[in-house]
Amino acid sequence: MKALTYHGHRDVRVEDVPDPRLIDPQDIILRVTATAICGSDLHLYRGKVPGLKDGDILGHEFMGIVEEVGPAVTRLKRGDRVVVPFTISCGTCYFCERSLFAACEETNPNRGAIINKKTLRPGAGMFGYTHLYGGYAGGQAEYVRVPWANTGPLAVPEGLPDERVLFLSDILPTGYQAAVNAGIRPGSTVAIFGAGPVGCMAAACARLLGAERIFMIDHHPYRLNFARETYGVDPINFDEVDDPAEYIIDQTQFRGVDATIDAIGFEAKGSTVETVMTNLKLEGSSGAALRQAIAATRRGGTVSVPGVYAGFIHAFLFGDAFDKGLAFKMGQTHVQQYMPKLLTHILNGELHPEEIITHQMPLSEAARGYAMFDGKEDNCRKVVLTPGATMGTAAVPSAPYPISPD
Ligand SMILES: NC(=O)c1ccc[n+]([C@@H]2O[C@H](COP(=O)([O-])OP(=O)(O)OC[C@H]3O[C@@H](n4cnc5c(N)ncnc54)[C@H](O)[C@@H]3O)[C@@H](O)[C@H]2O)c1
Ligand SMILES: [Zn+2]
Ligand SMILES: [Zn+2]
């Protein structure tokens, strides 16, 4: 089959690889009909996460049709159409029983990413996300093996285009968890750092939960404009506004917002020193966005962090957070916990995650998709790849968004 494979810094290729096969009794083999590139994939693409091997298949946002089922699969049958969460979870361990699926103790045979680990068990394995997270082959492929299929894949109704439900695999639950973790309720004020797909999903979910005022910070005008038009955010371009946190404080009676959401993560721009140190691997993460988030949050407020962080962080103002009495909530998304509820919101017409898609292309073009998404070329916001499609075809010709011209 064809799959998108990793070969080093900014080097991904679509090539022929062996077909996946059933290994464990709870496995299914899925024929992938749609798969997307995530901001988390960009961390891998830029060579910022250790634990990838030459030829590893990437991709953790995907859906498709069940082709084969293992003998212990009870919830699915051949022919079912499902969307698959990026977290691989057993459904029965201590954490899965508490719906903390990203903390599943059974699915990652490797060490996980924690530095001061001691004898702690690793959290859940993930598709296409390095050998630290289990070394599972990803879904940017024609076929993928989905383990623990009694817990992960969610059957979706016929008739809905893939694009409407694909983001249940990751970024929609991630935006929702970020908004829930931020404590958003009717009347809340919130500042979202990062106007990428995760920031956009967080804005959509903050609105759903009743947020009154949403600030959004980025430096790509096309992303900020989209978020203003679509979610009614107050955009702040950090190339023009030197200190977004100061601006937000000015706009909120010198208090700050009830909550901030860091939808950027460890590659946050804004500090040359930290960019250089992170590139030289002298520290794990840039603290530029987190410092802004801490500064922009009101006393007693919450900083919610869906953006991925790794290892050490420079100039983390823990004393400021203490002085303000802030709460922090963060982490990988417990995707399975939110999928059914969010599917209902989609079916009810309350969420339209597909509206963020800007580019749709065949899987064979995936390397170009990565380069465009990474380089913010052609106003790229989200790329959906269609396995099996040939050059120049689009899966949903009537899609309400522009289709990549070639
Ligand atoms: N917690 C989870 O389970 C989970 C799931 C999906 C994605 N993520 C993470 O969420 C983050 C965002 O993902 P995405 O798909 O939106 O990525 P993206 O790279 O498309 O978007 C990030 C945005 O942040 C902006 N940005 C960079 N530095 C900034 C700064 N200092 N201030 C304001 N904006 C800044 C960039 O211009 C970009 O538009 C990534 O770290 C990704 O790994 C986490
Ligand atoms: Zn992701
Ligand atoms: Zn578990």
Taking the domains of the chain in order of start, what are their residue ranges? 2-169+334-386, 174-330
Atom of ligand 1 nearest to the CA of 42: 19
* Residue 152 burial (C-beta neighbours within 10 Å; 0-12, 13-18, 19+): buried
Nearest CA to ligand 1 atom 6: 171
Q: What DSSP character marks residue 257?
A: E
Cα(88) to ligand 3 centroid in Å equals 8
Atom of ligand 1 nearest to the CA of 308: 41
Equal fold, 2-169+334-386 vs 174-330: no
| pLDDT score of 401 | 35
Confidence (pTM): 0.95
Pocket test for ligand 1, best of 40, 273, 373, 383 (most atoms within 8 A of CB): 40
Atom of ligand 1 nearest to the CA of 265: 41
Cα(5) to ligand 2 centroid in Å equals 17
Q: In which residue are the tokens 């068990």 written?
A: 121
| pLDDT score of 400 | 35
- The architecture in CATH of the region 2-169+334-386 reads Alpha-Beta Complex (3.90)
Mention every residue, 6+ apart, whose C-beta is less than 8 A from residue 295. Answer: 245, 246, 249, 256, 317, 320
Give the pLDDT of the chain (406 residues) as one tens digit per residue.
999 999 999 999 999 999 999 999 999 999 999 999 999 999 999 999 999 999 999 999 999 999 999 999 999 999 999 999 999 999 999 999 999 999 999 999 999 999 999 999 999 999 999 999 999 999 999 999 999 999 999 999 988 999 999 999 999 999 999 999 999 999 999 999 999 999 999 999 999 999 999 999 999 999 999 999 999 999 999 999 999 999 999 999 999 999 999 999 988 898 777 777 777 776 678 899 999 999 999 999 999 999 999 888 878 899 999 999 999 999 999 999 999 999 999 999 999 999 999 999 999 999 999 999 999 999 999 999 999 865 443 433 333 333 333 3
| pLDDT score of 399 | 39
What whole-number distance in Å separates Cα of residue 39 and Cα of residue 340? 23
Name all residues whose Cβ lies below 6 A of ligand 1.
38-40, 42-43, 170-171, 174, 193-199, 217-220, 223, 238, 263-265, 268-270, 288-289, 306-308, 332-333
Atom of ligand 1 nearest to the CA of 331: 1
Say how many C-beta atoms besides its own lie within 10 A of residue 56's C-beta.
Answer: 22
Longest dimension (CA), the chain: 61
| pLDDT score of 390 | 58
CATH annotation of 174-330: 3.40.50.720
Cα(372) to ligand 3 centroid in Å equals 36
Nearest CA to ligand 1 atom 26: 194
